[in-house]
Structure 1
Amino acid sequence: MAEAGDRVAGRYLLQEPIGSGGMGIVWRAHDELLDRQVAVKCARPDDERAVLRLTNEARNAARLHHPHIVSVFDFVDEGEVCWIVMEYVSGGSLADLVRGRGGLSPREAGAIGCQIAAALATSHAKGVVHGDVTPENVLVTEDGVAKLTDFGISRALWSQATMTRTGGVRGKPPYLPPEVARGDQADRKSDVFALGATLYAAVEGRSPYGEAAHPMAYVARAAEGCIEPPHRAGPLVEALTALLTVEPSRRPAADQALRLLRRVTPPSPDAEGSGDGATVARTPFTLRLRSRPSARGARHRPGRRRLITTAALGAAAALAAGIAVFGPWGGGDLRDSGRSGKDGGHTTADPAPPRTGPAGTVGDARTADPCTLLNAVSLSRFGEAVLDPDYGEIDRCDVLLHGESGDDIADVQLNFDADPPEPGSGTSTRRVGNVTVDAFRREGDKCVRNIASADRKQVWIITERLDTPAPDPCQLGDAATDYAVSVMDRGQVPRRSSRPATGSLAREHACRLFGDAELGRIAGVEVRDRDQGFGDWRCEWADGSGEAGVQLEFTRSNEFTTDDARPAVIAGKRSSVAPNEWGDHSCLVQMLHRSYRNSLGDDTVELMSVNVHGPKSTEKLCHTAEALTATAAKRLPKA
């Protein structure tokens, strides 16, 4: 018998039971290798065939990645006992919620139904049938996020004794689809019926077959299709009637069920953007849906490492005219050697340099590829995940998570940093292989993780919630960090697979654009300190007192804008001048260097930014910033 303090597979420390039933005991446990909370189900299959069945079902469940499906991380076979390691979800089941409240409102049940229907639509598209959708298998967090758990696992764990009580029928009798009660195998349409029965119970507080004293009574009513009409469902009646159709061929598929439930989960009077008719105000147990288009270029994305202490560069709004080229690195797509270049010819991608350095190292700054440490697929369980390789600093890569309406709901940002790590700067530090991981305290909708490499460089992972409903930023950050650590544990950070395109700022060196004497003559800065950023794509010069300095940086954005800034033309190029953009007594000048289309097909621009700060008037600082920008522009290649 397992007890608190036992370890499973040498890494999962059992802490406390959080659920039990005929199918096994579920423990809250600590994954000591990846330093995270997990849920571990203890199962005791009857024989070897049951073990094989359970293994197959766990493997099927592990294939599914969706924000409303509980992820399966691991499967451990210890002979008489099997352990299924899953994502830990704080909060109770829908069954617990209904018992505590006596029933949900139609709107609350409809919102939960939308989330579970979306999960089923994804699983069915991948050929996986749940087979046991019940209130006990729907988990609901305090934030109203619903997740479906136990894909196929409950069916695989049904014992002969349990089957005898229900006449050999596999499934929970109060939610049993009629065709399954008659002996047919559960299929996609069976899952849809079980979802309807689950939502019916959430609203009415009982099974759609009424109340019965014995499980076989439910089975008999299910086989006959004796469904009682709902009395409290209100606007949910039509959708429930469709989902609970006795004949499977007339029952909607999961994606159709999702549309039905969306239509009857209307926006509240105080919903944002009430004019669009598609927003549901968020209550503790409702889903918030949006239909407005994503506005990637209209918001400020988080900046690099310095976003922790400094405002990020402004995002863009109007793309400059010019011929687009594909990508900053060779042909835009890092693996594509046949994209058209600006001159109408083709760029040639060089083969990726091999990973020759030891595990846990970043290696050469200008060839280390930040996008190899992020993986959209590994984050897809949190939502639709898209890799964005061309935003912000050149040493940066992002994964954007989209909600069901297509809006950005979360951002995962990864940056390299040339500064040596400061040990123990986070609240929780752990050693994994040759790297050290620091976890910082959550700050509102933002979470920060740091990986200190074996060659004394840093990887910053910054996750931010942009909309609701959205995953917890720290859980998202931990998942992204786990993937990055797993890549670094296998060797040096992989190299970029091509050289920068001709004319790209990624080819340039920021610290070479100004000489110390030149900074003294133009900016009045007697350089005492020079800080070269990662890859020499950023450089800072300071006078030693901290009162005056210059920073030059190469960045990328979706568009170029002069909003909230004064338009200017410097060295023949479109620019903007923004006094006090980075604090009082400063002036930021941004110059559009070139425009291109990235590997996703998005319009993208490269910018050179020059910021000057010091004890002078803002007018003089801006004059100095413009003069320095003009000087640097003359030394850049033609785009």
Structure 2
Amino acid sequence: MGVVWLAWDERLERRVAVKCARLEDDRATRRLMGEARNAGRLHHPNIVGVFDFVDEGATCWIIMEYVPSRSLAQIVTESGPLTPEEAGSIGCQIAAALAKSHDEGVVHGDVTPENILVTEEGVARLTDFGISRALWSDVTQSATYSVRGKPRYLAPELAKGQPAGEKSDVFSLGASLFSAVEARSPYGEAEHLMAYLARAVEGHIEPMRRAGPLEEPLTALLEVEPRRRPDAAGAQKLLTRAAPPPPHIQEQLHEQSHDSRMRDPRDLGSRPLRLPRLARRPQDSTPFMLQPSRPVRRRRHPWAITAVALVAAGAITAGLVLFTPWASKDEGGKDDKGGRTGATDAKPLATAQAGAMGDERTADPCGLLDAASLSRFGGTALDPDHGEIDRCDVLVRNNSGDDNADVQVNLDSDRDDFDDIRSTRLVGGLTVVTLKRDGRTCERAVLTTDGKQIRVIGKQLAERSPDPCAMADAATDHVVGVLAEGPVPRRSSSPAANSLALLDTCTLLDSTELKLLPGVEADNRDRGFGSWDCDWSSDDGNREVEIQFSRDDSLDADDGTPVNVAGTKSYFIADEAEADSCTVRTPHRTFTDSVGDRTTELFQLTVYAPQPSRQLCDIATEFTAVAVRNIAKRLPER
């Protein structure tokens, strides 16, 4: 049948459930893998999550969320029958889980009291999705056909040899709830399993004595004819009307739902912004508009997820690696003597595997977004040339045509050290990280198969805006769907001949020029994605110079105090990035982007040091003048 271990994930410091099953042939292994994949894509507060599947030849491992709980079968055995209200609360939650599963095209096939877990707080979770049909089901055979499932809860059509379907899951849920309140199968009591099968074939359903308000919904769920039964969503409505979950459970499930939605990728998910004032502003002047938050300076760090399950109930000789460790790489691309790193450095697309970032300079963030897939949140429009070069946005508009929400994708060379993780899940070879909601912003991270990162951000821009977590989840699902088919899509065209995108920011200041800020070392260099940003720091980390290429509608007084830098009107602002900092923004060229919007390509230079603001801004302006001259040497005239 299988062995279940309680294990410890050392990296993420959490308990997990590890199921071990010994399979007899490759076909069984392939079948189990497919079903594990189905279970892994079902993210719902009432479904036990599947994190990973590991095939070690003769042995397969399934790594699942550990839920401290008792099964519904245990509860009835230890405490006796449930009240209709208790059973109804559980039924509502499991019906919601089935509705999610059926929407994703997954039939559970083994809904029984043993597979319904209930926590001390009364939250119900459905487990063994899909996997139960391959490994842990009771299989009853007759001379002419075989039946999968536990006969006490088996739908009549399954007893007749028909395949499992959505309506058979609904019947099994009704049978499980019947058993919980009546302390017996809806087929009564029998000494032999074949007797239950015979009664199922006949459509014999026992009368209810203790169901009370559940009698009507259970009668509907236990209809012998599948076409007369409600679907899972209809079952949820009937059960909720009769015996809804108590308020504390409804509140808990509502909170969990923000971080556990996972839609089918077929239905179509960056680092914190360093340019907060360049964030797209909504067109209306509502007083509830989000004010740009002050950015937090964050160093890029590699983030490796490595987790080894340690057996709590006994010894396992083989180590179980839940996630593969990755190492970060500096892949800014080779530059020529002029500091230009064009698309000629790209690796052949054929060498990039599914789920990989591939060559940074040709990776297209807009290829990971689809405005149409977000249309349920309002009118949508792709905004391909705003913010960092490794970024793409979809603007969401209200009925008046005003921008009231934003969804963006950012590409990263390295993985962040997240300290606000809500959950992680594995989808194929990708790790999806769900971060805690921060006010009107929700972030997700998709970790690519080649050790890089895609950050998805949902933002509310006005009081009445779509849920940012729902938007981030929907966009993340699309990202995962795209990466399931191949690497990050490539850009369709090369940058303009005078575009900053052709340059390497790390070539714009050399060791001599960096002496303008004593202590900053040329060797202490950190290259960003595509070499489109770069920073140099002192050994103690207290002093830093950063250059970043970006794009915006325009530059004006909202971006700081005007200043002439090497003949170019620029803008400086103190303490915007953080205390003891000064940022100078300088336009480079203006162009019409792919959707017809006028866009300004610019670069910003920020200096960080414990010095007075005026002195710091003078230093930042001097650095910017040097960078402007070096850019002019490397690019044709604008």
TM-score, scaled relative to structure 1: 0.53
Partner of 1:533: 527
Residue by residue over 1:326-378, the C-alpha shift from the partner in whole angstroms, topping out at 9 and shown as x without a partner, is xxxxxxxxxxxxxxxxxxxxxx998953389999x999875689999x999xx
Given the alignment, which residue of 279, 296, 299 partners 1:316?
Answer: 279
Partner of 1:464: 435
Give the partner amino acid of 2:549: F
- Aligned runs of 1:191-230 on 2, under 5 Å? 191-199=169-177, 201=179, 207-209=185-187, 215=193, 218-219=196-197, 222=200, 223-226=202-205, 228-229=207-208
**Sequence identity, in percent?**
32
Aligned counterparts of 1:139 and 1:602: Cα–Cα separation in 2? 54
Give the partner amino acid of 1:529: E
Partner of 1:554: 549
The answer to whether residue 21 in structure 2 is matched with residue 42 in structure 1 is: yes
The answer to whether residue 153 in structure 2 is matched with residue 175 in structure 1 is: yes
Partner of 2:97: 115
Give the partner amino acid of 1:583: E
Shift in Å, 1:164: 6.6
Shift in Å, 1:114: 1.3
Shift in Å, 1:243: 3.3
SS at match of 1:539: strand
SS at match of 1:282: helix
SS at match of 2:224: coil
Aligned counterparts of 2:215 and 2:598: Cα–Cα separation in 1? 46
- Aligned runs of 1:274-285 on 2, under 5 Å? 280-282=250-252
Residue by residue over 1:422-443, the C-alpha shift from the partner in whole angstroms, topping out at 9 and shown as x without a partner, is xxxxxxxxxxxxxxxx997x73
Q: Are the aligned partners of 2:550 and 2:601 in contact in 1 as well (CA < 8 Å)?
A: yes
Partner of 2:483: none
Alpha-carbon distance change, 412 to 145 in structure 1, aligned in 2, over 3 angstroms? farther
Count of paired positions:
479
Aligned counterparts of 2:452 and 2:538: Cα–Cα separation in 1? 42
Q: Are the aligned partners of 1:448 and 1:463 in contact in 2 as well (CA < 8 Å)?
A: yes
Q: Are the aligned partners of 2:21 and 2:61 in contact in 1 as well (CA < 8 Å)?
A: no
SS at match of 2:281: coil
SS at match of 1:85: strand
Give the partner amino acid of 1:188: E
Which sections of structure 2, spanning at least 5 residues, go unmatched? 262-268, 285-341, 371-382, 394-404, 426-430, 454-486
Partner of 1:484: 450
* Cα root mean square deviation, aligned: 6.5
Q: Are the aligned partners of 1:53 and 1:156 in contact in 2 as well (CA < 8 Å)?
A: no
- Aligned runs of 1:49-60 on 2, under 5 Å? 56=31, 59=34
Given the alignment, which residue of 419, 439, 446 partners 1:443?
Answer: 419
Q: Are the aligned partners of 2:561 and 2:572 in contact in 1 as well (CA < 8 Å)?
A: no
Aligned counterparts of 2:387 and 2:124: Cα–Cα separation in 1? 31
SS at match of 1:553: strand
Alpha-carbon distance change, 225 to 609 in structure 1, aligned in 2, over 3 angstroms? farther
Partner of 1:73: 53
Q: Are the aligned partners of 1:139 and 1:149 in contact in 2 as well (CA < 8 Å)?
A: no
Aligned counterparts of 2:89 and 2:448: Cα–Cα separation in 1? 37
Partner of 1:509: 504
Q: Are the aligned partners of 1:58 and 1:153 in contact in 2 as well (CA < 8 Å)?
A: no
Give the partner amino acid of 1:113: A
- Aligned runs of 1:120-131 on 2, under 5 Å? 120-124=102-106, 129-131=107-109
Residue by residue over 1:455-499, the C-alpha shift from the partner in whole angstroms, topping out at 9 and shown as x without a partner, is xxxxx997634499xxxx9xx98xx66833699xxxxx9996666
Aligned counterparts of 1:610 and 1:220: Cα–Cα separation in 2? 78
Alpha-carbon distance change, 123 to 594 in structure 1, aligned in 2, over 3 angstroms? farther
Alpha-carbon distance change, 495 to 533 in structure 1, aligned in 2, over 3 angstroms? farther
Residue by residue over 1:173-221, the C-alpha shift from the partner in whole angstroms, topping out at 9 and shown as x without a partner, is 2321133345544333212222333455567766455666664564455
Q: Are the aligned partners of 1:370 and 1:415 in contact in 2 as well (CA < 8 Å)?
A: no
Alpha-carbon distance change, 315 to 519 in structure 1, aligned in 2, over 3 angstroms? same
Q: Are the aligned partners of 2:590 and 2:598 in contact in 1 as well (CA < 8 Å)?
A: no
Aligned counterparts of 1:604 and 1:246: Cα–Cα separation in 2? 64
- Aligned runs of 1:490-501 on 2, under 5 Å? 500-501=494-495
SS at match of 2:227: helix
Aligned counterparts of 2:419 and 2:255: Cα–Cα separation in 1? 24
Aligned counterparts of 2:569 and 2:4: Cα–Cα separation in 1? 61
Residue by residue over 1:27-52, the C-alpha shift from the partner in whole angstroms, topping out at 9 and shown as x without a partner, is 568999xx99773443577xx9xx85
Shift in Å, 1:282: 0.7
TM-score, scaled relative to structure 2: 0.53
Aligned counterparts of 2:560 and 2:499: Cα–Cα separation in 1? 22
Shift in Å, 1:149: 1.7
The answer to whether residue 112 in structure 2 is matched with residue 134 in structure 1 is: yes
SS at match of 1:484: coil
Give the partner amino acid of 1:416: S
Give the partner amino acid of 2:112: T
The answer to whether residue 605 in structure 2 is matched with residue 610 in structure 1 is: yes
Aligned counterparts of 1:180 and 1:358: Cα–Cα separation in 2? 45
Q: Are the aligned partners of 1:414 and 1:461 in contact in 2 as well (CA < 8 Å)?
A: no
The answer to whether residue 347 in structure 2 is matched with residue 353 in structure 1 is: yes
Shift in Å, 1:287: 7.1
Alpha-carbon distance change, 148 to 357 in structure 1, aligned in 2, over 3 angstroms? closer
Which sections of structure 1, spanning at least 5 residues, go unmatched? 1-22, 272-279, 294-300, 322-347, 377-387, 399-407, 418-437, 450-459, 488-492
Shift in Å, 1:118: 0.7
SS at match of 1:186: coil
Deviates more, 1:139-148 or 1:66-75: 139-148
Given the alignment, which residue of 408, 412, 416 partners 1:415?
Answer: 412
Partner of 1:247: 225
SS at match of 2:65: coil
Shift in Å, 1:248: 0.6
Q: Are the aligned partners of 1:413 and 1:463 in contact in 2 as well (CA < 8 Å)?
A: no
Alpha-carbon distance change, 101 to 578 in structure 1, aligned in 2, over 3 angstroms? farther
Residue by residue over 1:380-409, the C-alpha shift from the partner in whole angstroms, topping out at 9 and shown as x without a partner, is xxxxxxxx99998656899xxxxxxxxx9x
Give the partner amino acid of 2:271: G
SS at match of 2:105: helix
Shift in Å, 1:110: 2.0
Given the alignment, which residue of 89, 111, 122 partners 2:65?
Answer: 89
Partner of 2:168: 190
Partner of 1:452: none
